[in-house]
Structure 1
């Protein structure tokens, strides 16, 4: 008699589905990618549908009032899925947690857990998952040139002055965030196409009186040089062709590790990775733009000729009150140096209008500076009075109406300058990364050149495929600019690049 084994029925435990909403800056997006990577490694499954999620995570921003309001609105929106959908847990992460940890739990009872900017690994416990055993760190490579330095003198000095104080914030941990991921940390990319961010540093030591980011994210700290290189090499091997390096002040990169011109060194190393077509970094502190950094940008064809320098203002008295220093004349000399070293470079900046004590004369100084500097891209923020910032205690607060009027006036000025500058693009050819069909009409496709940073600058609209029958999102094409508008341009495809 023969024996036949009866097949056993295997019941697979359904994977926990987690939905993410990431708000705010690219630095926050990388934090979300790290948390998603940790969850994925622990067995969870990511979903883009809130209705299908067992656990919902909102990674919040708390930079200014509008960002805080957007974060709260999103939390409340996601909370509805606990009563009307399948969601069992709602987790709030990010900067809002660092500032309002207790208040969130008290005022929004639907929130089951909070995860601060320095607690990313706690996302597993919050979601009800066990953390897998972490792999051992890879040994340092022969390229490790680091010293034993672990902090910037400026950061220690600012801490002694109370720069990072959080004791008056509701429920804030006494200890500052210390977390910083490395190349062994799992990440699930949320960016589309061949583009990705790499966070090379976290925190900030600068004393800017309008800003609470140092209180939210801690002292400046750099990732190890070889760790960034290893991550970049892995991303390119996976098909990434554009990398944007991010940090609150990337131009300070490596100072806490004993490196001089660390960012220039890092760019030089990364630019030699085969297959990396575009490499850029955000953001540059004006007095940290060294000759070596500019020479490095100019020397490598795959380093984008693009520099984002948030100047914040141009009036000497306002900048002094902001604890930034410098003035319009100093900035103009810096801009002249940058353009001379890197011909054709695109310059982006941002300004705050309506800072306490800003006079009509100060605003006129700023407006005249914008006319003379002729930035390629410019953003304007109305002053937001943030509790915990140095400026919060300043007098001479401007009415909201006056702040809005100045914001609109400066953007009108930039609109005219931008339109005139973009008209000079007509007839130029440039490589364009195609991102897909336009949301406005299927008759147009959208893309950007190396002079456009992801998400924040204008758009290259493509209305003519030239000799090609079709084009593919995520690929690069040689295009000719045929029309110019206020901030955007129209192009036709010449060939695949």
Structure 2
């Protein structure tokens, strides 16, 4: 089932952010995943349907739309559009009331030059790439039926950063996959250290009945898998903090969200490199006297402190920013 612009929706996000599903299903053969069996083959939603929903959301006060699918990077292929995602981004960025257009769940073999150009050239397209890689060891990528090698993934990361120099890259990895050796894990650690991703999620493998991975032997002990997850997350925390420290002193655009979840004495917002709920936040501890809190408003914030995942800053410009076009 693929909903359209007429399907009633109950939004679970803040009033200024909304998810738009652009496709359903997946044709990838990943050995650990049951989505193809559950959701069926990949099929794109009609272009006009997406545009109509995005315009309706913008008219309701939404300022950020987040495009989602099981495989967003293939959007439009089945509709005859070779670079459908790039075209969609270009058109969504023309909607006057929208400020940010974000894409989640891309696949490494389908990061086209057209997509990167659309992200680089549209001020409203956030400079952010969510691209689950799952592993970097050739052995593990083969076992997962993902393909590729550490070297090919490093070349891809280089191509992305060359095309969009200030891009934030988020990825996810699975540790403890059947057959993963300490050598495989160390290769993944080296890959993460070398690539210096902005944001990383790490999951321990868990059996899912009906998938090819479920039938594999040589299971990794759960304590070993959890130890690997903790080690990788610790390494990434150091990387993320180092990247955040480079932002101290800079004045950046932040989407204001309201009172902080951590303290009523703070406000919070997000940089374009921070996706809602899964990445860090900007905690705001000061603002000009004439600042009027308004959810979804873009404000200028000077970053004053850096932590592993969150930043702290003060609003330096309380005037509403003109819509980016």
| TM-score normalised to structure 2 length | 0.96
For residues 179-258 of structure 1, the aligned pairs below 5 Å read 179-258=1-80
Aligned to 2:137: 315
Aligned to 1:326: 148
Do residues 342 (structure 1) and 164 (structure 2) align?
Answer: yes
Do residues 479 (structure 1) and 301 (structure 2) align?
Answer: yes
Q: 1:434 to 1:322 in 2, by over 3 A?
A: same
Q: Which protein shows a greater Rg?
A: 1
Distance 2:302 2:46 in 1: 41
Q: 5+ residue gaps in structure 2? A: none
The offset of 1:285, in angstroms, is 0.3
SS of equivalent residue, structure 2 residue 134: coil
Contact kept? 1:351, 1:380, Cα under 8 Å: yes
Greater shift in the superposed pair: 372-381 or 268-277: 268-277
SS of equivalent residue, structure 1 residue 455: coil
| Selected match of 1:443 from 265, 271, 282 | 265
Aligned to 2:86: 264
Aligned to 1:31: none
**CA offset digits 1:22-74 (Å, max 9, x no partner):** xxxxxxxxxxxxxxxxxxxxxxxxxxxxxxxxxxxxxxxxxxxxxxxxxxxxx
The offset of 1:474, in angstroms, is 3.1
Contact kept? 2:15, 2:61, Cα under 8 Å: no
Distance 1:218 1:330 in 2: 29
Contact kept? 1:198, 1:244, Cα under 8 Å: yes
For residues 44-443 of structure 1, the aligned pairs below 5 Å read 179-443=1-265
**CA offset digits 1:93-123 (Å, max 9, x no partner):** xxxxxxxxxxxxxxxxxxxxxxxxxxxxxxx
Aligned to 1:455: 277
The offset of 1:468, in angstroms, is 3.4
Distance 1:355 1:468 in 2: 54
The offset of 1:439, in angstroms, is 2.7
The offset of 1:188, in angstroms, is 3.1
Distance 1:341 1:476 in 2: 25
Aligned to 2:287: 465
SS of equivalent residue, structure 2 residue 223: helix
Contact kept? 1:309, 1:347, Cα under 8 Å: yes
| TM-score normalised to structure 1 length | 0.63
The offset of 1:375, in angstroms, is 0.3
The offset of 1:219, in angstroms, is 1.3
Contact kept? 2:63, 2:296, Cα under 8 Å: no
The offset of 1:438, in angstroms, is 1.8
The offset of 1:326, in angstroms, is 0.7
Distance 2:237 2:13 in 1: 29
Contact kept? 2:18, 2:66, Cα under 8 Å: yes
Contact kept? 1:193, 1:435, Cα under 8 Å: no
Count of aligned pairs between the two proteins: 319
Q: 5+ residue gaps in structure 1? A: 1-178
Distance 2:291 2:80 in 1: 53
Distance 2:218 2:178 in 1: 5
The offset of 1:467, in angstroms, is 4.6
The offset of 1:469, in angstroms, is 4.9
SS of equivalent residue, structure 1 residue 274: coil
Distance 1:267 1:379 in 2: 25
SS of equivalent residue, structure 2 residue 203: strand
The offset of 1:470, in angstroms, is 4.8
Q: 1:439 to 1:234 in 2, by over 3 A?
A: closer
CA RMSD of aligned residues (A): 1.1
Distance 1:199 1:469 in 2: 35
Distance 2:114 2:47 in 1: 18
Distance 2:125 2:291 in 1: 31
Distance 2:296 2:123 in 1: 20
Greater shift in the superposed pair: 375-384 or 205-214: 205-214
